[in-house]
Amino acid sequence: MSGDAANGHAAGGGGPAGEGLEGQHALGVRCEGLSFWYDEGATRIAALRGVDLTLAPGASVALLGPTGSGKSTLLQLLRGLLAPDEGRVLIDGLAAGEDGYEERERRIGLVFQMPEMQLFAATCRDDVAFGPRQLGWSAAEVDDAVTSALAAVGLPADRFGARHPYSLSGGEQRRLALAGVLAMRPGLLLLDEPFVSLDPASRRDLEAILRGLRATGMGLVLATHDVDRAYGLCDARVVLDEGVVVDAGPWRFGAGGEDALLSHRLKLPFVVELWRRLGRAAAEAPPELAAAAEALA
**Around Cβ 151, how many Cβ atoms within 10 Å?**
18
Closest CA to 229 of 200, 253, 255, 257: 200
Helices (H), 44-198: 71-78, 101-105, 124-134, 139-152, 157-160, 170-182
Query: Minimal distance in Å, beta carbon 191 to another protein?
Result: 12
Query: Minimal distance in Å, beta carbon 118 to another protein?
Result: 4
Summarize as ranges the residues that interact with another protein (CB under 8 A).
76, 79, 81, 106, 109-110, 112, 115, 117-120, 130-131, 134-135, 166, 180-181, 184
Q: Which phi and psi angles does 295 have, rounded to 5°?
A: -65, -35
Measured from the CB atom, is 3 or 109 closer to another protein?
Answer: 109
Q: Would you say 221 and 211 are in contact if contact means Cβ atoms under 8 Å apart?
A: no
Closest CA to 112 of 53, 52, 9, 197: 197
Closest CA to 65 of 258, 263, 251: 263
Query: Minimal distance in Å, beta carbon 135 to another protein?
Result: 6
Measured from the CB atom, is 101 or 112 closer to another protein?
Answer: 112
Query: Minimal distance in Å, beta carbon 86 to another protein?
Result: 21
Measured from the CB atom, is 10 or 117 closer to another protein?
Answer: 117
Measured from the CB atom, is 109 or 249 closer to another protein?
Answer: 109
Which positions ≥6 away from 102 have C-beta within 8 Å? none
Query: Minimal distance in Å, beta carbon 77 to another protein?
Result: 12
Measured from the CB atom, is 172 or 241 closer to another protein?
Answer: 172
